[in-house]
Structure 1
Amino acid sequence: MDKDLLNYVVEKTNELISAPSCSSEAKEAAQNWLAAIGTDREAAETKKYIDELEADIMPIDSLIGFAESDAGIQVFGADTAKHIAAHAIEIKSAGEKYCDCPACAAVAAILNKKDILLK
């Protein structure tokens, strides 16, 4: 793997791990991938990592639906859920496809390099 690409993905992976909104599954996959860099497990862990990231990234419509739901209100509280939904609608109208929380932003950056990573 190209050193600049590797450094970029490692940086985004560390951002993902430190994001409060990172799921435990994504954090574990990220840590496993980091540990596998330069080993004979790297290709297999890269595939597992990408699969986990694709499963975890929040499509904007799903975020809007969740934030506006009773479950979203229970998780975030009524005021925060309202603000999250409004923000999500705003960024969707600007063309965003995914949530822009720190975890999803890091995941989107990594997935933009997916084809190169999986070579």
Structure 2
Amino acid sequence: MKQIVLEMIAAPSCCQELKDAAQKWLDAADPAAKKAAADALVLELKDDVAPIGHVIEFFESPLGKQKFGEERAAAMAAHAREVQAKGGKWCDCPACSAGRKILDNAALLV
């Protein structure tokens, strides 16, 4: 799990809140602190790992276009639609992909 968490933190698409929660989990030493940090990390992951429909909505929204520019936002929305068409349910960016792996194996965090 540690390696997956490190990969997620290193991903350019990983937000600061998720990086912070992941780092707290990495830094936790005793079992009680590790459990609390794992619980906090799982909550943050559930908040941040994006369903593919939300990704499409965001990149097609005025905010998505403003943040990434019309062209980049359109390309990202098109990519997300391809992921969805192939049956993907989640964002496939590096941070979300690692986050899904962590969520799928959350019991291993403690």
Sort the TM-score into its range (normalised by shorter chain): over 0.9
Within 5 Å, give how 1:92-103 maps onto structure 2: 92-103=84-95
Q: Which is worse superposed, 90-99 or 38-47? A: 38-47
Shift of 1:40: 3.2
- C-alpha distance in structure 1 between counterparts of 2:29 and 2:4, whole Å: 15
- TM-score, structure 1 length as denominator? 0.86
Moved >6 Å (runs of 4+): none
Which residue type is aligned with residue 34 of structure 1? L
What amino acid is aligned across from residue 47 of structure 1 in structure 2?
D
The alignment partner of 1:106 has SS state of helix
- After superposition, the C-alpha distances for 1:57-106 in whole angstroms (9 at most, x for unaligned) are 11110110111111111111111111101100010111111111111111
CA distance in 1, matches of 2:34, 2:54: 32
Aligned residues between the structures: 110
**Residues 68-107 of structure 1 mapped to structure 2, 5 A cutoff:** 68-107=60-99
Q: Which residue of 1 aligns with 2:8?
A: 16
The reply on whether 1:117 has 2:108 as its aligned counterpart is: yes
Paired amino acid for 1:35 = D
Displacement of 1:49 in angstroms is 0.8
- Helix, strand or coil for the counterpart of 1:40? helix
Quick check: 1:46–1:117 contact (8 Å CA) kept in 2?
A: no
Whole-angstrom CA distance in 1 between matches of 2:73 and 2:55:
10
1:52 aligns with 2:44: yes
Q: Unaligned 5+ residue runs, structure 2?
A: none
Identity percentage of aligned residues: 43
Q: CA RMSD in A?
A: 1.5
Return the offset for 1:39.
Answer: 4.1
State how far apart, in whole Å, the 2-side matches of 1:102 and 1:74 are.
22
Closer, same or farther: CA 89–37 of 1 in aligned 2, 3 Å: farther
| Partners of 1:50 and 1:64 in 2: CA distance | 24
